Amino acid sequence: MEKVIKLSLIISIAINAVLIGLVSTQVEPRLTLFAGKNWTGLNLSLLSQDRSELEPEGFDNMAQSLCAVGTWLFYDLPYYNANETAYMNYLHAPNGTSIYCSNFDSVFSNKTSSIRFVGSPKSITAETLTLYAKTYFQGQSEYFTGDYSSPSLSETVSSLIITGSSPWTVFDRKGYSGTSWCIVPSGSNETTPAFVVDIRSQGIPHGTIRSFKKGCLNSTAVEVNIQKISPGLHRGGILY
């Protein structure tokens, strides 16, 4: 009986250790914007939240620096530059789970009017595909964790971001048919996203991603290797 109890205790400890390990990888996207440089002054904190407008928060065009975990997109105009192509910055925090702090450069300082995070609201390492209606991740977006036969943005998709390490096969027809491309994130670091600022750069015309599946499942698909970005803030939208 004592051996059974000890064995049960050992198994319980092992299971708890695994669960703790799993929980530790479920890091949510976090962001704090600061009105001063070097993360000082008034601040606004977000946990897995988008903001289509910062004016109601009293923080429109105020951010000069930030601290973040995960991947975030910053836009010059409200509603993610949906109505006009403008400046934007995109951020990947180094090492995924580490807090990363940075100043915005002189062009984008005091420019942020809307913000959104990339990927899953529950885990920065989750495998996801996000489609955007405009280049440089501007305008409307749709976020997915698995296969989808008919995304609503299919006629306008112009850029995309992949989180996690899995490739995705995209098709130019609904229902997983037609010409296909397998988009493969290069690099083994699962916490680093793969950014495609303009799908035309990979030979995929705008508005032709009409269905997709996780994985390289079609032997006739054109393989597209996407280099994952380096950590830090990156410029986008209207080029500087």
Range of the domain at 194: 124-230
Q: Average of pLDDT values for 2-24? A: 32
Residue 51 DSSP code? B
How many residues are there in the chain?
A: 240
Task: Please report, to the nearest 10 degrees, the dihedral formed by the alpha carbons of residues 71, 30, 189, 225 taken in order.
Answer: -20
Out of 83, 117, 151, a domain closes at 117
What pLDDT is recorded for position 155? 87
Its pTM stands at 0.85
Quote the number of domains for the chain: 2
Specify the pLDDT at position 95: 60
Which of 61, 86, 117 marks a domain boundary? 117
Among residues 102, 117, 132, which one ends one of the domains? 117
- DSSP secondary structure, 98-150, as one string: S-EEEE--TTTTT---EEEE-S-SS-TTS-EEEEESSGGG-S-EEEESS-BS-
In tens, the pLDDT along 171-221 reads 999 999 999 999 998 865 666 889 999 999 999 999 999 999 999 887 778
Domain presence at residue 8: no
Q: What is the CATH number of the domain that holds 110?
A: 2.60.20.10
What confidence tens digit (pLDDT) does each residue in 68-114 have? 999 999 999 999 999 988 999 999 886 655 789 999 999 999 999 99
